[in-house]
Amino acid sequence: MRIVEVITGGEQGGAQRHVAELVTYLARQGHEVRVIHGGGKWLTQAVDGVADIYYLPHLRREISVRDVRTLWALGRLIGDLNPDVIHAHSSKAGILCRLVGWQVKIPVVYTVHGFVFFDPTRSIWSRGLYRLLETWGARHSRGIITLSDLDMEFAQKAGTRAVVRKIPNGVSVRPEGPRLPSARRNIGFIGRFTAEKGLDVVTTAAAMTPGWRWLIAGDGGLSRDLERTRRQLSNVEWLGWVDDTEQFFRDVDIIVQPSYKEGLPYTVLDAMGWGLPVVATPVGALPEILGQVDRRLLCPVGDAQGLIKAVAFVFDNYGSLARACYELVKVRYDLDIQLKRTIETLTLAVQA
């Protein structure tokens, strides 16, 4: 197949990792793959030598009057590439690709990395607009891949005729399995410093637990707030953006993910694959994953005290929870299964 993968940005993130792993796998299977994104070095470097890269500089996350120009440029580029199927990722690229596919009669498969209208940190206007756009997009898709039951339920109720499949992200596990916690309680957070990730809940919880050590890895728009917190709290360490996540996982005993909105974050799966228990909020696919281990790993959204309570529960039951997290990812969230099922969905879209 000739496949064009389209994503809004090429900076490092979960959706970009998803695309990079998929593109590499598709190319190894003999498919002709091209990648279109709005800029960023990480994705380009990740698929260097595997797929041709095309930049659309105005392809940005937020809605803008420049989207009309982007739509025209995207349509012209896809027309020149003439793929058998367009595979879109992220909200903006998903909407624009389905407009283009509808116009040029090329099937579009859309992978939902978390519908943005489920994000309570966005304005009511923004969430309402995206809900309308995603409803239209669902009805003009040949295939829809979701990572969670929540997103799948919306896609099915949107009146689409597309093939709708839930295909969770997959990862590789640490061969050695889980390990024992350190003598001191080391709690880790890793991710982009954006409002929906719940970094404010992490720092509030850290202020309430001076005897615990909180290691925070990442960077982004809220970095000034974190720097101020770090100066005020001696039990908070900011490591900056870390490329060596394996070392980070060695340094912590638990990963917390108190997000306001998620799809299925790789951070959670990677940590569990390392044998680390995870405490998170019940958003996106997180209740589906952690609920299979123990629902007490889930804490209310925006609740620092609830986060602390869940972390304390983990330390009281560390060995059994670490083993259960590890075995779950090993059996049910395998990377090869994810990639094979995605190719099957792309093939069905072309054949339909």
| DSSP calls for 78-144 | HHHH--SEEEEESHHHHHHHHHHHHHHT--EEEEES--GGG-TTS-HHHHHHHHHHHHHHHHT-SEE
Q: What are phi and psi of 168, to 5 degrees?
A: -65, 155
At a CB cut-off of 8 Å and minimum separation 6, what does 137 contact?
94, 95, 98, 110
pLDDT at 140: 95
Structure tokens at 83: 């793929």
Start-to-end C-alpha separation, the chain:
14
Distance CA 310, CA 301 (A): 12
CA dihedral angle for residue 275, residue 277, residue 283, residue 289, rounded to 10 degrees:
50
User: How do residues 127-151 score in pLDDT, each as one tens digit?
Assistant: 999 999 999 999 999 999 999 999 9
Could you state, in chain order, the average pLDDT of each consecutive group of 10 residues for the chain (352 residues)? Answer: 95 91 97 94 94 90 77 95 96 94 96 90 90 95 94 93 94 86 90 89 96 92 82 90 87 96 90 96 93 97 97 96 96 93 95 84
Say whether 257 sits in a helix, a strand or coil. Answer: strand
Structurally, at CATH architecture level, domain 2-170+334-351 sits in 3-Layer(aba) Sandwich (3.40)
Domain topology for 186-332:
Rossmann fold (3.40.50)
| Other CB atoms within 10 Å distance of the CB of residue 205 | 25
Distance CA 113, CA 91 (A): 8
Domain regions of the chain by residue span: 2-170+334-351, 186-332
Distance CA 13, CA 15 (A): 6
Contact 110, 158 (CB under 8 A): no
Q: What are phi and psi of 258, to 5 degrees?
A: -85, 50
Are 2-170+334-351 and 186-332 the same fold in CATH?
Answer: yes
Q: What are phi and psi of 135, to 5 degrees?
A: -65, -45
Contact 117, 137 (CB under 8 A): no
User: How do residues 59-104 score in pLDDT, each as one tens digit?
Assistant: 877 777 777 888 999 999 999 999 999 999 988 999 999 999 999 9
Q: What are phi and psi of 23, to 5 degrees?
A: -60, -45
